[in-house]
Structure 1
Amino acid sequence: MEVMETVNNKIYVEGSNTLRLKWPVGKSINYGVRIVFDEEGTQNEVKYETRVTRLKPSATGEALFQIERISDVFVNEILPDLIADKLAHAAGKVFYPLIISVDKNGGFDGIANHQQILKRWEGVKAKIMDNFEGRVIEDYVARMEKQLALRENVQMALLQNDWFLQTLFKPIYKTYGLVNGGISYKFPVLKSLMSDGYFTRENLQQQENDFGALQLIHEGYLPPGAEDPTAPTGSYEGFYILHPQNKHIISVVSDLTYREQTTINIKVKIFMTPENGQPFDHDFAQDKTEAAYADGEGLVVIDGAPRKSFWYRLLNI
């Protein structure tokens, strides 16, 4: 069935929805990122903040986004303290600002500013050599330099290690219908390039939630290996909340398990954060009502208890 659209793009034919990203060029959104790794009862947490900006399309028409780290990266609430961690943290700054291209469905496609990263490396390397000493440091810098030289190497490193990219930039902007054959999604926990990823069913909710936003639900699993009974197994659940007009992600929570010799549980939370210290307490349902009123449509007010704040309802506090 075809998608039926009205002026406000809010009404869909049951059984078929289409998500199209309408993120304006130049608009930036700040996101908080929290990733918790739990392996055999040992838990580690990574937290940081990032800014994502929609850029003008490339000369060939590709959609471009700039990603900036706007905070330090905290591990278990502290800055890296071991030498190896400090070194990795210092070297990792070479990637930002990172500009990526995305495909027509919003999925991560590739790095668009590799040459800028190479130029930036000279300054980052100088700081590393000033702040660290020893043969091990020289070897690390040499390996890093070799990896950075090829765009394909940098891209593969991000695909295998960057949870933010592999969670926020999934190909979710497409048509959802009654027949959903599923799609395979990869995450950094899958180090093997041979794995097809988590086979995932996607369900775009027909109704907006109680504060007017859209909800997209993922349910997936690692298919058991037909040829290899010892192949890894696991499950994946994703819960996206999307802006009803621009369709950008307000928040996403992903839960993954990966079982091989041991079981690893990973929870990824990405959520919009207020800008410049301003409170973020938005009710999209109220926007919809006000827009209808402005258009001269009928306005019906039902008495009831005051509505809870956006974040209160979002986080179920």
Structure 2
Amino acid sequence: MQKYNIHTVQKDETLRSIASLYGFEKDVIKLFHNNHCDVKDMILIELNGQKQLFLPRTAVEDKGRLVKFGRGNSLVFQPENKIRRYGVVITIEKGEAKNELKFETSVRWLKTEKGRHFFEIDRTSNLYLNEEEVNEIADLLAYRTSKVLYPLQVSTDDKGKFEAVENPEVFIQRWAGIKEELYKEFEGEIVEEYCKKIERVIGEPESIDLYLRNDYFIRTLFFGIYQSFGRNYSIEETKSFPVIHNHIEPQYRIRLEIDPLKDEYDLINIEGEGKLSDERTVHDFINNLPFSLIVKDQPDMNEEGEMRIQSYLNGKNGLLEYMYLECSMMLNEIKKISVAIAILPE
């Protein structure tokens, strides 16, 4: 991500006039330039032949391009009274095998209470697997039984991070009608198998919560990017993602950076990347262990995995326009989940 701007020095310009143009003190401009330029281009007292100056990223004439931050350069999550439609592509890779899921969904803000935001998510299209509408009976049954969950109500914290499912009581009420339709349309033991699977999920609130914590779309959309980015517009933090199904998700140490300037499309750009940082070994993950069996004062961290994020937010309301998340880790072979979410035209 770009860390500075470049000013081309014009005839008769001085250090003071350039600083005034961008609303900075001249000593701030001089210090910033000297910290980024070659020794031969350093400013001693006044300009002495420099053709270009390195300027802080926020040094722009058009102040409308600056991202509006809260305290501590925090990005504020304000989803009130909004409904958004997204196209979603989820790619699941394991070794040479690769499958791609596509669907469309709507996300509607419901209310905000005590720092928590509540949303309703609904699927608004059929599910496509590898560019074809789902038609294999196993895939179709998995899709049709999961429809009992929608419309789905969830909550997030004030950073936009997924917290909980908020309407689990309605799933049992919906299920009777959906199950009846399934038995009219399909027959055989496979129908009973998939019905029992979803019944085990919706029968217990804890099972529902665990099931949806493994939902790649929800976890990407509500990743929690509305952070305080600090004076350098970047933070390091530990994040988890369900790249594998484990009660204790793999932990990744990532750096998130935000550009304090909106781009030419009036979008706010956030980038992130990092590595797996977990005490569990590849063998531990393969065996679905929630913790490492080897206890050390200074454990060796497993770094055989990566995470990458690219997010673009609307420059006016700060809501998601596009997000790409890629998360991988080594098992017997590399497993990688990629999620792309894009706003759909109204």
Q: CA deviation at 1:196?
A: 4.4
Provide the residue aligned with 2:97 in structure 1: 42
8 A Cα contact 1:190 1:197, kept in partner: no
The partner residue of 2:177 within 110, 123, 127 is 123
Within 5 A, what are the aligned runs for 1:142-153? 142-153=196-207
Provide the residue aligned with 1:105 in structure 2: 159
Q: CA deviation at 1:229?
A: 6.6
Once the two structures are superposed, what CA deviation does each residue of 1:117-165 show, in whole Å capped at 9, x if it has no partner?
A: 22111111111121222234224323422321111111100112x1110
User: Are 1:169 and 2:238 matched, yes or no?
Assistant: no
Q: Percent identity?
A: 28
2:103, 2:88 → 1: CA distance? 5
TM-score calculated relative to the size of structure 1: 0.76
Q: CA RMSD in A?
A: 2.5
Provide the residue aligned with 1:242 in structure 2: 313
User: Are 1:51 and 2:85 matched, yes or no?
Assistant: no
Code of the residue aligned with 1:35 in structure 2: it is I
TM-score calculated relative to the size of structure 2: 0.70
8 A Cα contact 2:153 2:167, kept in partner: yes
Within 5 A, what are the aligned runs for 1:1-317? 10=66, 16-25=72-81, 27-57=82-112, 62-160=116-214, 162-178=215-231, 182-223=236-277, 225=279, 228=281, 230=283, 233-275=304-346
Code of the residue aligned with 1:118 in structure 2: it is I
User: How many aligned residue pairs are there?
Assistant: 264
Once the two structures are superposed, what CA deviation does each residue of 1:224-256 show, in whole Å capped at 9, x if it has no partner?
A: 53x647556210110000112211100001122
Secondary structure class of the residue paired with 1:206: coil
1:266, 1:61 → 2: CA distance? 31
The alpha-carbon distance between structure 1 residues 266 and 211, as it changes in their structure 2 partners (threshold 3 A), is: same
8 A Cα contact 1:181 1:201, kept in partner: yes
Provide the residue aligned with 2:17 in structure 1: none
The alpha-carbon distance between structure 1 residues 9 and 208, as it changes in their structure 2 partners (threshold 3 A), is: closer
The alpha-carbon distance between structure 1 residues 92 and 212, as it changes in their structure 2 partners (threshold 3 A), is: same
Bigger CA drift: 212-221 or 16-25?
16-25
8 A Cα contact 1:184 1:196, kept in partner: no
2:84, 2:213 → 1: CA distance? 22
The alpha-carbon distance between structure 1 residues 172 and 29, as it changes in their structure 2 partners (threshold 3 A), is: same
1:210, 1:61 → 2: CA distance? 32
Once the two structures are superposed, what CA deviation does each residue of 1:54-91 show, in whole Å capped at 9, x if it has no partner?
A: 11235x66311111100001001112222211110110
Secondary structure class of the residue paired with 1:19: coil
Larger radius of gyration: 2
Code of the residue aligned with 1:269 in structure 2: it is A
8 A Cα contact 1:224 1:231, kept in partner: no
Secondary structure class of the residue paired with 2:324: strand
2:168, 2:282 → 1: CA distance? 40
The alpha-carbon distance between structure 1 residues 117 and 78, as it changes in their structure 2 partners (threshold 3 A), is: same
Listed as ranges, the gaps of 5+ residues in structure 2 are: 1-62, 286-303
Greater than 6 Å deviation, 4+ residue runs: none
Once the two structures are superposed, what CA deviation does each residue of 1:143-199 show, in whole Å capped at 9, x if it has no partner?
A: 422321111111100112x11101010111121114766222222313222344221
8 A Cα contact 2:254 2:273, kept in partner: yes
